[in-house]
Structure 1
Amino acid sequence: MSLIPNQRHLFDIPEDVTFLNVATMGPLPKAAFEAGQRGLARKLRPWTIPDADFFEDTRQLRPLLARLIGADEAGIALVPSVSYGLAVAAQNLTVARGQKILLLEDQFPSNVYTWRRLAAETGAEIRTISARGNQSLSEALLDAIAADTGLVACPQVRWTDGARIDLAAIGARCREVGAALVLDLTQSCGAMRFDVKEVQPDFMVAAGYKWLLGPYATGFLYAAPHRREGRPLEENWITRAGAEDFSRLIDYTDRYAPGAERYDMGERSNFALLPAFRASIELILGWGVDRIETTLAHRNRALAEALNARGLQVGPETGRGPHYLGALLPDSAPSDLIQRLRAEQIYASKRGNRLRITPHLFTSDTDVERFLLALDSMLG
């Protein structure tokens, strides 16, 4: 598979800026910014907005999001955040008193607090899974899934260090014991292969502002076929059958639009955010997620070798997301390392005792050289 050439020209990133922090927030491509501007401009003259525009952006976006994860369009709902999508999932899953809800150690808070509430409301028990010794996170989680497991909630890669989870194996094990599987793919969707047919989660959610390169407050939820008749968080008008006919909206109906659309957030027809989000998704699909993953893996393979050679331990590629590096910092690392890097226009992040390094297709060889030289200077 051919590598994607550098795509910096599609982003507004100055040459003297080294941005290695997509895991915190991905930059909006120029095309997405321009699409958002055009969309927002419609609101200057609302009398020019036809009723159909309340539906057109979502009609175009939903199948694109489905393509990203190998899903059918009817399984996609539009949500503003991971916490919203997880709340939808929690409202439509049943766990019994004494059953276990399995979470990973150091899992992102939004994918913890939701399940703590569910456990408190149902009498289920939270069990936090960590790896021991040479055990991988996937192995630890697989070993923990048992007959008393009611639900597993996890990512594809852990946000702190990029540790990779074998979701196909986890999904198969959940089906064996009858446990529900809920996924947060915010740190992998758009940069790493995923197919719902292989994993078969009950629900999956991803925020749009990281690896999907979209605006903040965008995202999507996938609901499995047997989870599409549930109860939405909101009872809004636009997800009802026949909502396209504004003249008949007072003919109230209990019927929803088909599929997972019932779970859409209220005011989903955002005239600025949705066109921008769609432009970003079209760009990702044009590159191809497989090629994005291969290209980022190639870049990070060399960078991981350079970091390991400097004593900043990075896990093997088989155990981490290929787009994601979490370098273990020495005890002697300055506490203000991130601030020192920023002073040099180099942007990464620190999570725990690891330096999180997440480049993208706009990252150049010059960026990597600047970053490594800065580390050599700052870490002594």
Structure 2
Amino acid sequence: MTDNTLERCCYYWNNAGQARLSAATQLAGIRSITTTEPSVTDTTRIRTLFAQLVDAAPSEIAIVPSTAFAMTLAAKNIERLYPDGGKILILEDQFPSAVYPWQALCHNHSINSKWSLEIVRYPEAYKRQQSDYVHVHSLSSPRNWTEAILAHLPPQSTIKSSTDFIRVVCIPPLHWSGIGGSWIDSPKISQVCQRYNILLLVDATQAIGVTPFSIQQLLPALAMVTCSTHKWLRGPPGTCLVYIHSKWHDTWEPLDQHHRSRVRPADFLPSSDSRHGMNIPEGYSTTFVKNARKFDAGGIPNPILLPMVKTALEEVTQLSLTKVQTQLKDLLQPFLVWAREHGIALSTDSSDDEVDDQRFYHILYLSFDDDKTLEEIQQLEQNLRTQFNRMYNS
């Protein structure tokens, strides 16, 4: 993708918008068409595998259709948790699924302005327009996303109005587009969130399955982690796996109401009062199960998608994720060396080895020198594509 409206011309190749399904995952979907709905064993296995991947307990994993669904669930409950309102901190150009639910929360209270967004601008924006940002005086020029985020988290004791409190920090482990691949120090941000009683929510769709990820490093401030299955879990679209901290299982309400989230007579066996276990006149059981299954989406578990998700997870959990980024870095080095020699650079290019280590290599952001003419940029674009294809498609 080329963005000619920017001062710097950049390229973002979204080849991982939908991960390629392995032969085994495709076969699981084909087989499921001729079978019945997934069994309880299928969903239990999915929770177990994902919990293994993120260093959590299977009882803390919910299965929903999308990251947007999960974030809407969180937004509804946080609205209940903080009736006086506050601010939601997000990143500029963050993926929309982790933004729209918070926008909706703010718009619901647009009349009395109880809720508002606190948007962290790109670190470059801080450097160019430093005087425009209130908290930036503590860091003369934030070098990366982590520093930019921390500059927005002052001690809550300095804030006079409840609507100015930052209640939630909702971030990814890395940004998906601008300055693509730049690492965000989520554990460090979690520590600050804990100090100021701020809830941390993480959309880890761009990270889980391609780099090690541990829930334990983000506790106790962490409330939720979402991961749609169609990215680096190499599964089908239409499913999202969600970690929800156990301390919220009793107080949060599910987004939709259905029988699978309830404690009920076994499979609605007939009782003395009703053929289907309904109490008269109260109705069905209102007691929720005591784990994250309470937050599963309603409807019958998808008989095609879930067997595919299970198969994909079984493959991903066999990978050595600690080696993936190193392998990607080594694989891309010849191309990146060529790019630098021709005036094309990574956003985090630096002689500082520490800075070079603070990025991921499954998402690349390439930019041209400012002094290039349009003709030179067009020629570089052609050379870039030709060289990449020569190196990796031959």
Letter of the 1:179 partner, please give it: I
Letter of the 2:166 partner, please give it: T
**What is the match of residue 228 of structure 1?**
249
TM-score by length of 2: 0.75
Superposed structure 1 runs of 4+ greater than 6 Å apart: none
**What is the match of residue 339 of structure 2?**
307
Task: Give the Å deviation of 1:216.
Answer: 0.7
From 143, 148, 154, the counterpart of 1:135:
143
Task: Give the Å deviation of 1:149.
Answer: 1.6
Instruction: Look at both structures and tell me which one has the larger radius of gyration over its CA atoms.
Output: 2
Task: Give the Å deviation of 1:257.
Answer: 2.1
Task: Give the Å deviation of 1:245.
Answer: 1.8
Task: Give the Å deviation of 1:293.
Answer: 3.2
CA distance in 2, matches of 1:65, 1:34: 21
CA distance in 2, matches of 1:113, 1:225: 25
TM-score by length of 1: 0.77
From 366, 372, 380, the counterpart of 1:327:
366
Q: Aligned Cα RMSD in Å?
A: 2.7
Higher mean alpha-carbon deviation, 219-228 vs 115-124, is at 115-124
Higher mean alpha-carbon deviation, 316-325 vs 164-173, is at 316-325
**What is the match of residue 362 of structure 1?**
none
Task: Give the Å deviation of 1:135.
Answer: 1.7
Check the 8 A contact 2:233/2:312 in 1, yes or no: yes
| Residues 294-345 of structure 1: per-residue CA shift (max 9 Å, x gap) | 322332444433322222211243332232211125663449x79x96xx9x
Higher mean alpha-carbon deviation, 125-134 vs 197-206, is at 125-134
Task: Give the Å deviation of 1:72.
Answer: 0.6
From 288, 295, 298, the counterpart of 1:263:
295
Q: How many aligned positions are there?
A: 321
Gaps of 5+ in 1: 1-19, 44-48, 347-365, 374-380
**What is the match of residue 11 of structure 1?**
none
**What is the match of residue 218 of structure 1?**
239
Q: What secondary structure, in the 3-state scheme, does the structure 1 residue paired with 2:344 have?
A: coil
CA distance in 2, matches of 1:29, 1:287: 14
| Residues 203-249 of structure 1: per-residue CA shift (max 9 Å, x gap) | 11111101111001011111012111210011111222247524355
**What is the match of residue 318 of structure 1?**
357
CA distance in 2, matches of 1:368, 1:185: 32
Residue 296, structure 1, aligned to residue 328, structure 2: yes
Residue 26, structure 1, aligned to residue 19, structure 2: yes
From 163, 166, 170, the counterpart of 1:153:
170
Give me the identity figure in percent.
Answer: 25
Q: What secondary structure, in the 3-state scheme, does the structure 1 residue paired with 2:362 have?
A: coil
Task: Give the Å deviation of 1:98.
Answer: 6.1
Larger RCO, structures 1/2 (Cα 8 Å, 6+ apart): 1
**What is the match of residue 199 of structure 1?**
218
Check the 8 A contact 2:325/2:360 in 1, yes or no: no
Check the 8 A contact 1:237/1:243 in 2, yes or no: no
CA distance in 2, matches of 1:126, 1:97: 15
Distance 1:367 1:34, change over 3 A: farther
Q: What secondary structure, in the 3-state scheme, does the structure 1 residue paired with 2:242 have?
A: strand
CA distance in 2, matches of 1:368, 1:86: 42
Task: Give the Å deviation of 1:185.
Answer: 0.7
